[in-house]
Structure 1
Amino acid sequence: MLKSNIAVGLDIGTTKVCVVVAEKDALGKLNVLGKGRSNSDGLQRATVVNINKTVAAIKAAVADAERESSIRINGVNVGISGAHVHCIHSNSEISINQSGIVNDSDVKRFLEKAKTNIRYLDIDHEIIHVIPQEFIVDDQEGLLDPIGMAGTTMRGSAYIVVGQRTKIRNIKQCVEKAGLEINGLTFEPVASGMAVIKEREEKSGVVVIDIGGGTTEVAIYNNGAIRYSEVIKVAGNDVTHDVAHGVKALYEVAEELKIQHGCAYAQLSGEDEELLIEGIEGRPQKSFPKSSLTMIIEARMMEILELVRDSVKRSGYYEYINAGAIITGGGSLLPGTEELARDVLGLDVRIGYPEGVSGGIKGSINNPMYATVMGLVAHSFQYTPPDDYGFASTAEVLPNSAQAVIEEESPVQESGPARKKIVDRMKKFWEQL
């Protein structure tokens, strides 16, 4: 039985691959049916360096998600990131159709023109997203939804996400070699933001900081739209490498030390103690002061956050971030990260957990490391026409399972906040851009 109201997100990270299968409930919330996770070492800094290892990691994570959800996964919304991805602001202006009332066709022409207005886009790069930021109909400014407005001219700006063609192709190859169809590509800072930001934060101005294994992603939102993003090539793996070098231990031992005893803020580290460290290849154990471990971790985490601060100030939006910062991703789990970030960034800070999850195995994904993949699921629902949630081939109920008795559900006609209005109207053409 095909399930047409199910979406699947695939987050191919530097250290892990995550898959989540979810459906939407009657209130527009996500009901998580299953998840899968596997270790990944086929990427460096969010860029594929080993096709076979990446394919194996994807297959393992998908198999876990299928077992847990009793759903056969066919199509996925794939996250993409890396330093090769960059964003361009593009202005656009068109004449409104003869009726003088803005319609879907006008918005589509507006975004198409924003794409053609990009300069210096060579054959080595391709467009991933065209995200509207603001519409101005005649002299009416600050519109997020121009449909139905009367006027003669519509102008405004769009945020265009561009990536290197060969690196995007490598990601696609890995997914296809794993036996999956690609239903869409989503820039991961967009997905992370969609997962963790509350509506009032998005309007007031907020920066989302996703500290992963290979990269740290920064995205700034203000007045209901993304305004700036950057991918920084320093992240959680660098912390682990510093620990391994400092204590002269294997990477795996250093990672365990970081997770079990690590702290990113010396003022919270508590009393000092000696930590026993496993010797390499039969060598004897040795001890290492916990205070020294904290100093190593704090130094690298401070560097990451200073790079984030510089990025935010460079954006020109620092003074407009009234809601502060949200830190998410696996790197946010280190104790003391929130407090250190507050000191370094000079902003109010909270840790970001996936929002908008109503049921299913909700508790198992209530973790910052699942923020991106939950955002990929949410993005798949938000920008896919209701009749094609998951493109109908995204998922299929496996036979002889408890899920097989679930009745087919019709697409949800939800009533949500005013923001839903523009989403419904733009769904029709978003996937064509």
Structure 2
Amino acid sequence: MINTNEIIAAIDIGTTKIVAIAGKVTSNGELQILGLEKTKSTGVVKGVIQNINLTIEAIREVVEKLQKNTNLKIDKAYVGIAGQHIRSLKNRQFKYIQNGSEIITQEDIDTILKENFRIPIQVGEQILHVIPQDYVVDKDKGITNPLGMAGRRLDGNFNIIIGRTASARNIENCVKAVDVEIEELVLEPLASSLAVLTQEEKEAGVVLVDIGGGTTDITLYFDGVLRHTAVIPFGGDVVTKDIKEGCHLLLKQAEALKVQFGEAVEQLADSDKVVNIPQTGGWDPKEIAFKTVAQIIQCRMEEILDRVKYQIDMTPYGDKLGAGIVLTGGGAMLKNLDILTKETLGLDVRIGYPNASSMIKVDEAINLPMYATSIGLLLNGLNKIQHKPSDGVATQTNTKTRKRGLKQFFETLFDN
């Protein structure tokens, strides 16, 4: 067995697939991926666990395969959390500096951070993270780190991430059932950003659009800081259902048709090509034109992109996105989706592959957008090993039960 002190493992619990991945920290501090296993996810709907038993079985399957193929004992892992229940809101707190010297201390900064946990939220929700956006010292605005500055009043603007308590507990229970301890619960779109986005893109302004099976996650960065997050309740599975209904196919046939022959722009589809669907279970054979499939896909993807645009327009950063849009997730692999996105949003677009970090070498076989979250979870673990905890982020923790929840993940937003 390899020394597990040098091993980082992660589990990505998605709507269409569950992935287990492990990597080893090398002597030069880089991460070497040792193995990746995946299986179909049948107990998760729109990123939220709906069937505990089916999810436990799938997690156990991929963890056991990973252990067998890597000769590792996986007893702890970084685990992703996502779903439509995740939301964010903006808040402002202030404090008068009353320490005699009128010099802002770390205690002053921590005080206004922690005050955000007192704001009222809905029943069954919990504040997961408080992310500082910027500070105001007296009348000086746009300060990123006020520590040591002179002033009589400190104001802070914060982005508060909120999630449903039951969803986090269900993840913890499923992972615990396969004898794996959760090292940390990590918000999945932020894990993806570690694998896909460069620090330069985050500084210039960028929107990461992570198109998963059940949902599409949006994260917007500007000046190196996470400014906005949102979840759209549509992903790749709704496109498959549209093809199923529009072409009168079985669900598995519709998925195969989307993956193998689908594209996002009808005008670019070959008008002369058709795909033959053989007779199955009493169903007559069919011929389906490529253009027909593309038309169905384009209609749904335009709806998703319109919602992405709406989320961007909700922020003051729409005209400041120097790095444009980065598409990742399994849905980003759809042919010509980058072209449709550029036409719809009017911004530069690239496909995000999980090899943006210089701290990890990704083999070609897994350097795919569909594994962005999985690899990002490993990178989050690497950052936890290499970086000291940041005092700039407040997080709720439960020290009695050692359930770490979404634990100080956002230190990576400021340590990169």
The TM-score by the shorter chain falls in which range? 0.7 to 0.9
Report the alpha carbon displacement of residue 429 of structure 1 after superposing the two structures with TM. 7.3
- Alpha carbons 1:86, 1:163 under 8 Å: kept: yes
- The aligned amino acid for 2:73 is R
CA offsets, 1:113-141, max 9 Å, x none?
2222x2x3144111222222223444554
Report the alpha carbon displacement of residue 301 of structure 1 after superposing the two structures with TM. 1.3
For residues 351-390 of structure 1, what are the structure 2 equivalents within 5 Å? 351-354=351-354, 355-356=356-357, 358=359, 362-382=363-383, 384=384, 389=385
What is the match of residue 334 of structure 2? 334
2-side partners of 1:170 and 1:359: how far apart? 31
For residues 301-340 of structure 1, what are the structure 2 equivalents within 5 Å? 301-340=301-340
Report the alpha carbon displacement of residue 426 of structure 1 after superposing the two structures with TM. 3.2
Q: Structure 1 residues 256-265 or 164-173, which shifts more?
A: 164-173
Q: Structure 1 residues 167-176 or 352-361, which shifts more?
A: 352-361
Answer yes or no: is 1:30 the counterpart of 2:65: no
Report the alpha carbon displacement of residue 185 of structure 1 after superposing the two structures with TM. 1.6
CA offsets, 1:357-385, max 9 Å, x none?
55565333311111112222222333x3x
2-side partners of 1:218 and 1:343: how far apart? 18
Q: Secondary structure at the match of 1:303?
A: helix
For residues 83-94 of structure 1, what are the structure 2 equivalents within 5 Å? 83-94=84-95
What is the match of residue 287 of structure 1? 287
- Alpha carbons 1:33, 1:360 under 8 Å: kept: no
Between the two structures, name the one with larger relative contact order (CA 8 Å, sep ≥ 6): 1
Report the alpha carbon displacement of residue 211 of structure 1 after superposing the two structures with TM. 0.6
What is the match of residue 391 of structure 2? 426
2-side partners of 1:94 and 1:424: how far apart? 24
1-side partners of 2:378 and 2:273: how far apart? 43
What is the match of residue 267 of structure 1? 267
- Alpha carbons 1:212, 1:235 under 8 Å: kept: yes
* Equivalent position to 1:111, from 106, 110, 113: 113
Change in CA separation of 1:336 and 1:361 when aligned onto 2, cut-off 3 Å: closer
Report the alpha carbon displacement of residue 215 of structure 1 after superposing the two structures with TM. 0.4
- Alpha carbons 2:132, 2:392 under 8 Å: kept: no
Change in CA separation of 1:204 and 1:12 when aligned onto 2, cut-off 3 Å: same
Report the alpha carbon displacement of residue 60 of structure 1 after superposing the two structures with TM. 1.7
- Alpha carbons 1:17, 1:61 under 8 Å: kept: yes
Report the alpha carbon displacement of residue 153 of structure 1 after superposing the two structures with TM. 4.1
1-side partners of 2:298 and 2:34: how far apart? 38
Q: Which runs of 5+ in 1 are unaligned?
A: 390-411, 413-419
Q: Secondary structure at the match of 1:338?
A: helix
What is the number of residues matched between the two proteins?
A: 395
- Alpha carbons 1:243, 1:296 under 8 Å: kept: yes
What is the match of residue 400 of structure 2? none
Q: Secondary structure at the match of 1:254?
A: helix
1-side partners of 2:339 and 2:59: how far apart? 35
- The aligned amino acid for 1:291 is K
1-side partners of 2:21 and 2:200: how far apart? 26
Could you tell me the TM-score, scaled by structure 1's length?
0.83
Please tell me the root mean square deviation across aligned C-alpha atoms, in Å. 2.6
2-side partners of 1:295 and 1:222: how far apart? 35
Report the alpha carbon displacement of residue 213 of structure 1 after superposing the two structures with TM. 0.5
Q: Structure 1 residues 40-49 or 1-10, which shifts more?
A: 1-10
2-side partners of 1:25 and 1:151: how far apart? 45
Q: Secondary structure at the match of 1:426?
A: coil
What is the match of residue 397 of structure 1? none
**Percent identity over paired residues:** 34
- Alpha carbons 1:211, 1:330 under 8 Å: kept: yes
2-side partners of 1:376 and 1:426: how far apart? 21
What is the match of residue 20 of structure 1? 21
1-side partners of 2:6 and 2:393: how far apart? 17
CA offsets, 1:73-131, max 9 Å, x none?
11222211111111122222235584765554444333212222x2x314411122222
What is the match of residue 249 of structure 1? 249
Change in CA separation of 1:106 and 1:178 when aligned onto 2, cut-off 3 Å: farther
Could you tell me the TM-score, scaled by structure 2's length?
0.86
- Alpha carbons 1:17, 1:38 under 8 Å: kept: yes
CA offsets, 1:307-333, max 9 Å, x none?
211221123431222221001000000
Change in CA separation of 1:135 and 1:9 when aligned onto 2, cut-off 3 Å: farther
- Alpha carbons 1:35, 1:68 under 8 Å: kept: no
Q: Secondary structure at the match of 1:363?
A: coil
2-side partners of 1:170 and 1:38: how far apart? 19
Q: Which runs of 5+ in 2 are unaligned?
A: 398-407, 409-416
CA offsets, 1:130-167, max 9 Å, x none?
22222344455434344454555432122211112222
- The aligned amino acid for 1:113 is E
What is the match of residue 56 of structure 1? 57
1-side partners of 2:295 and 2:39: how far apart? 30
- The aligned amino acid for 1:112 is K
What is the match of residue 195 of structure 2? 195
Report the alpha carbon displacement of residue 424 of structure 1 after superposing the two structures with TM. 5.3
Q: Secondary structure at the match of 1:73?
A: coil
